[in-house]
Structure formats: C-alpha cells, structure tokens
A = this chain, B = another copy of it.
Amino acid sequence: MYQDRILRRELIDKIVTADQAAALIKDQMVVGSSGFTKAGDSKAVLPALASRAQAKPLHITLLTGASLGHNTDAALTTSHVLSRRMPFQVDPVLRKSINAGEVMFIDHHLYETVEQLQNKHLPPVDIAVIEVTKIEEDGSLVPTTSVGNSAHFAALAQQVIVEVNLSMPLGLSGLHDIFLTGGYPERSIIPITSPSSRIGRTSIPVDPEKIVAIVITNIPDSPATVVPPDVKTTAIAEYLLDFFKNEVKQGRLKKSLLPLQAGIGKVANAVMSGFLKSDYENLTMYSEVLQDSTFELIDAGKMTYASASSITVSEEWYHRIMDNLNLYRDKVVLRPQNISNAPEVIRRMGVIGINTAIEFDIYGNVNSTHLSGTHMMNGIGGSGDFARNAFLSIFVTQAASKENAISHVVPMASHVDHTEHDVDILVTDQGLADLRGLAPRERAKVIIANCVHPDYRDELKSYYERACQRGGHTPHVLEEAFSWHSRLATTGSMKKSLTELSY
C-alpha cells in the first residue's frame, strides 16, 4: 500500500508505530507540526503523544501552521502536554486553558512564525511532524491538503517525523508550490506577480538523514463546519456585493475585481457564495484557506485561479475535490503560509481582504481576537497580514448578537488588532460604512449611521457627542469607553437597564 508513496526505498526501514514515533518527542522539546485550519494535520503522532502523556507527563512547545483538526489540541491540553502553543488555535478546551493562564499562547500574524524562527527570535525547532502524500526519490516531501509552515519546519528542525497518509490521493502531488525564503541578509525577492505564479518546486526539500521515523495513517482531515447563510450573513453579503457593483461602476475596479482573500467565520463564506449569482468574471483568489465557496466559484466558471495555504472544506466538498483533483489541477495552488500571507505579494497584487471582526468601534478600530478585551477567542491569524496590505481592507460582523445583548459596534474596541489606518470598509447586517479618505470624526458619523444595531444607536450617538465636547482628534470619554463591556459582565447585557435609562 505505502510502497508507491515512499519512493526513497531506504526510508521504508524507518516505518514505526505512532507510539514509537511519539516517543522520540522528549520533555521540553519544541515541536513544529503540519496542519493549517484543520487541513493536513498530524493524525497519529500528536494524538499518540497526548495518550502517552497521560501515563508519563511531558511538556512541549507546539508550533503549527494554524489550527489542528480531530480535537488534537483538546487532547494535548487535557493531557497537559502544551506549555507553549503558537501561532493560532480554534479549540474550546485549549482556549479555556489559555484564558486561565495555563498554556502560554503566542498569537502571531501567520506570516511571522517562520520569520521569527529563521531570525532566531524563537527557540529552535527540535523535531518536525509532517503529514505527506508521498516521499519522493530524493527524500523530499509532498504535502497533503495544506502547506502551512511545514517547509520551514522541515528545513529548520533537527529531526523530522513523517506521517504518510494513505487516504490522501496521489493526485495531490503537483498542487503545491514550495518556495523557501532565505535568511538575512541574503533574502531574495518573492517573484509572484499573480495568484497563478509558480515560483518553486512541488515538494518540500529535506535531508533524508533527518527523517527519524515514518508513520502510516489512513485518516481524512476533519471537515469544516459550514454554517448555511442566515438573515444576517445574507444581509452583510448583499451590502458588500452592492458595494463592489458600485466600485466597478465608478471605474475603481474591473469586473474581475482583484485577487480576493476571505477569512474564516460564517460571513466570509456567505459573501463568496454571493459572487455566484453575480456577473463578475475571471475572479481570482489569493488567500489563506480555500473553502467550499472557492470550488463552487471555480465550478461555475466564475473563478479562474485560487492560491492559498490549505483546502478546508465541508465533508461533501472534501470527497468531491479529492475524487476529482484533475478538474482543479490548473486552477489551484497551495503555498507555504509565509508566501500566501506575504506582505510583499499581497501589496503587489492589490488583494481585496475580507475578514471577520469580533467588534469594532466608532473610529473603525477592530478587535479580532479578545472577547471583552481579555479572553482569547482564536487568534489574529492572517487577518493582519491581509488587512494591512490590502488594496481594500474590509471587516464584517453582525451588528448585535445573543438576542442583542451584545453590540458588536462599541464606543471603544476593548482590544485592538487592526487600527483605523488598516480598515477601509465595515459591514454589519445593518449596513456598510465606507471610511476611505475620512478623518476620525467623520468615520464615527458614518459608522453610527450605518453599522450599529438600532437598540444601541442612540446611546452610541450620545457617547460620541459627549466625547466631542471634550475635544480631540479622536474624541472619547475615557472613563465610559468600556462601560458597555463592564455592563455585559455585570448584567449580562450591554444595554442600559431601565433604571439607568431614566436618568
């Protein structure tokens, strides 16, 4: 079964069980694993490590591409394996430990992890765990459904454990474009000029001597949970599609727009699906993750090319894609995440970035990560890589949630991930605020008029007006700036109680 997947014959001797491989990971090691938004993660070695730690405790620093599937982060957390974790996660169990201060989580711009490793600003990677489709004759590794940080982990680690996943079709070979940025001062140009540019090789180079173990697996990726569009996400998508229509009409964009990036979260998928019913053509994507909507657009002939670091789709689409890879061979490429998210390339191509906010404030500062300014949700992911460098930086969120007890438009963002400089367009189910070329006081008026839920509009307006009386370029009533968040903590709602209102 695996003979056609390990073309460097002598490596066949390295095949071991997952437990044997996991035993190579020692206490206090720094481990770099494949896995990006659930795709292409370690299916055997990290889970085996979690089991082993239940009997014999150990602690590691775990670096990945982004989030892992199969509840692996939960298992590792429950077994107390993680002392440090970076650069991203989406796991409820791990999240709880992070917020309790038990796991030290380092939240990176996804572009940055490899930079910091190369620059020796992080401790060196002891061991890499990489899922592959196959090992080539020269020992190089063909990734599976994601590239993430695998290429650099393999290059930088002392030892490499390989998981050969038999469930991954051999047809994945050829889909990847592996380009390694060198260290300083001899760093080269990243010569990508369009989403379809191929600048590297199709497999990850690795010194075969470093491969210390090979584990055979046969488990597919965890599927993405795709939430069907609802009233709110549909409203947001419609505002955004109208906006694009007008940009084309005004001559600021062509019908092919510019390369699109869509973040994770339920809104982004709804927006992308909205393009299906539009008259755009020759769309392209330069993003982190290819989702269901990408393949819908390709199948519909609306999208000609999509570049990202992973394929993370629903169970239905997973099988459709894996069984028909030939259909997508010339339309899709998977890259290392420090290429998919490279500021250089995002700027050069003028990517349109659409990301989801947890909340934003009247001046357009965006919180993507911290509930009420303190509790980590997932992490900044690639949102900053794209928002800062985009041709247009768009953030979307529902205006209010939890039966409107929470307003996602607040007086002051309780945590800032993206400053007003990096935010052009804000959209909620209430409407769209076009902030281009506006000063803070003008931004506030447009945001209050268009984005806030009606239940909160008057109070937000009152806040802004009282702030203006104190003056300033960006007026605030500092002692009231987080009063909505404090109220949520004490009363369960950001709304003023009736007693307060009577004042």
Residues of chain A touching chain B, judged by Cβ–Cβ distance below 8 Å, are 84, 98-101, 104-109, 112, 116, 119-123, 184-185, 187-189, 191, 193-194, 250-252, 254, 258, 342-344, 347-350, 365, 370, 372-376, 380, 384, 388-389, 391-392, 414-417, 419, 421, 424, 436-439, 441-442, 467-468, 470-476, 478-479, 481-483, 485-486, 489
Chain B residues near A250: list those with CB within 8 A: 120
Query: Which B residue sits closest to A284, measured CB to CB?
Result: B185
Tell me the bound Cα distance from A30 to B478 in angstroms.
35
Given contacts A389-B343, A416-B416, A485-B478, contact A106 B438 (CB under 8 A): yes
Tell me the bound Cα distance from A317 to B467 in angstroms.
45
Q: Closest approach, in angstroms, between the C-beta of A352 and any C-beta of chain B?
A: 10
Is B474 touching A441 in the complex (CB atoms < 8 A)? no
Interface core residue of A342, A375, A415, A483 (most chain B CB under 10 Å): A415
Q: Closest approach, in angstroms, between the C-beta of A391 and any C-beta of chain B?
A: 6
Partner of A370, one of B251, B472, B483: B472
Chain B residues near A374: list those with CB within 8 A: 467, 470-476, 478
Given contacts A436-B116, A437-B116, A481-B482, contact A373 B476 (CB under 8 A): yes
Given contacts A439-B104, A481-B482, contact A421 B384 (CB under 8 A): yes
Given contacts A116-B436, A189-B193, A437-B116, contact A421 B108 (CB under 8 A): yes
Partner of A109, one of B84, B258, B415, B421: B421
The complex is assembled from copies of this chain, and their number is 2
Q: What are 5 residue pairs bridging A and B, where the CB atoms are less than 8 Å apart in the complex? A: A344-B347, A370-B474, A373-B478, A374-B472, A376-B474
Interface core residue of A116, A342, A347, A470 (most chain B CB under 10 Å): A347
Interface core residue of A365, A374, A473, A478 (most chain B CB under 10 Å): A473
Tell me the bound Cα distance from A252 to B183 in angstroms.
11
Tell me the bound Cα distance from A68 to B99 in angstroms.
47
Interface core residue of A250, A391, A470 (most chain B CB under 10 Å): A391
Q: Which 7 A-B pairs have the closest CB atoms?
A: A374-B472, A376-B473, A184-B350, A104-B439, A416-B416, A344-B344, A478-B482
Is B106 touching A439 in the complex (CB atoms < 8 A)? yes
Chain B residues near A104: list those with CB within 8 A: 438-439, 441-442
Chain B residues near A84: list those with CB within 8 A: 439
Tell me the bound Cα distance from A119 to B342 in angstroms.
20
Tell me the bound Cα distance from A437 to B63 in angstroms.
12
Is A350 touching B185 in the complex (CB atoms < 8 A)? yes
Is A473 touching B373 in the complex (CB atoms < 8 A)? no
Is B421 touching A107 in the complex (CB atoms < 8 A)? yes
Q: Closest approach, in angstroms, between the C-beta of A195 and any C-beta of chain B?
A: 11
Chain B residues near A441: list those with CB within 8 A: 101, 104
Is B348 touching A189 in the complex (CB atoms < 8 A)? yes
Tell me the bound Cα distance from A365 to B413 in angstroms.
14
Interface core residue of A100, A187, A439, A442 (most chain B CB under 10 Å): A439
Tell me the bound Cα distance from A439 to B476 in angstroms.
29
Chain B residues near A474: list those with CB within 8 A: 370, 373-374, 376, 415
Tell me the bound Cα distance from A105 to B421 in angstroms.
13
Known: A101-B441, A104-B439, A376-B474. 10 other contacts (CB 8 A): A101-B471, A109-B421, A116-B437, A120-B251, A185-B254, A185-B258, A187-B348, A189-B348, A343-B389, A417-B419
Q: Closest approach, in angstroms, between the C-beta of A304 and any C-beta of chain B?
A: 13
Is A482 touching B485 in the complex (CB atoms < 8 A)? no
Chain B residues near A100: list those with CB within 8 A: 471
Given contacts A116-B436, A189-B189, A348-B189, contact A370 B473 (CB under 8 A): yes
Tell me the bound Cα distance from A274 to B10 in angstroms.
57
Partner of A388, one of B189, B348, B370, B388: B388
Chain B residues near A485: list those with CB within 8 A: 478
Chain B residues near A417: list those with CB within 8 A: 419, 421
Q: Closest approach, in angstroms, between the C-beta of A306 and any C-beta of chain B?
A: 16
Tell me the bound Cα distance from A99 to B476 in angstroms.
12
Partner of A472, one of B109, B375, B380, B416: B375
Query: Which B residue sits closest to A109, measured CB to CB?
Result: B421
